[in-house]
Copies of this chain bind each other. A is one copy, B any other.
């Protein structure tokens, strides 16, 4: 490939020289970013110095994070593309923030060894039933930011209580006496929790959906996540809580 007055390169060679792939070079031809060079008599492409320089310029801008469309606009005017640089910088800053937030969550999930389907700030110290996890997941879309904060605070600080397991494992055909008994043992604790977290009140018009539909959705979800006995207990607890003690 060495001639008297210089050198020329094959597609593979120029790709390797520039540190990109064969296909990338061809792709830059296809989109018109890099002109096709002359051919040898056998049809092989014959790249020269100008192609190498342009390819290196393209690669540099690609590595910085520019799209090929942006490169096509900026690579030719020698002036300093300040606006493009600032825009890209802002986009990168955004992306980095998103990824870092994700990493913070991943780190918390790994440290606490909890299931990955809930955000850590809504995950209690003690394990949850899958119904409870599903409910929390729905809550993240139903509640407004203020309610969610209160909800998270409650969940994270929730101490284990004997009635938790009892409720989670309640058979669908539990008798009325046992249901009433469980409700009466759950009520005082829930009363305390509500008093400790006043922002939890659903009537705060904080929600993104409006109170009406939020209530409706919540009711539907609860009805499908828990069995009849559990639903009955929840009803009894609500009745106990609505009566001033």
Contact = CB atoms under 8 A, between A and B. Distances in A.
A74 interface: yes
Main secondary structure of the interface of A (DSSP, over half): helix
Contacts of A86: 110
Interface in A5-64: 5-7, 17-19, 48-50, 52-53, 56-57, 60-61, 63-64
Number of copies: 2
B137 A57 contact: yes
B64 A138 contact: no
Contacts of A173: none
| Chain A, interface residues (CB within 8 Å), range | 35 or more
A18 B141 contact: yes
A38 to B, nearest CB: 15
Interface in A93-122: 93, 95-96, 99-100, 102-103, 105-107, 109-110, 113-119
Contacts of A118: 60
B116 A85 contact: yes
A60 B81 CA distance: 38
A145 to B, nearest CB: 14
A2 interface: yes
A89 interface: yes
Contacts of A242: none
Nearest to A209: B17
15 contacts: A5-B223, A6-B223, A17-B217, A18-B141, A48-B224, A49-B134, A49-B220, A52-B221, A53-B138, A60-B116, A61-B117, A74-B116, A85-B116, A88-B106, A92-B102
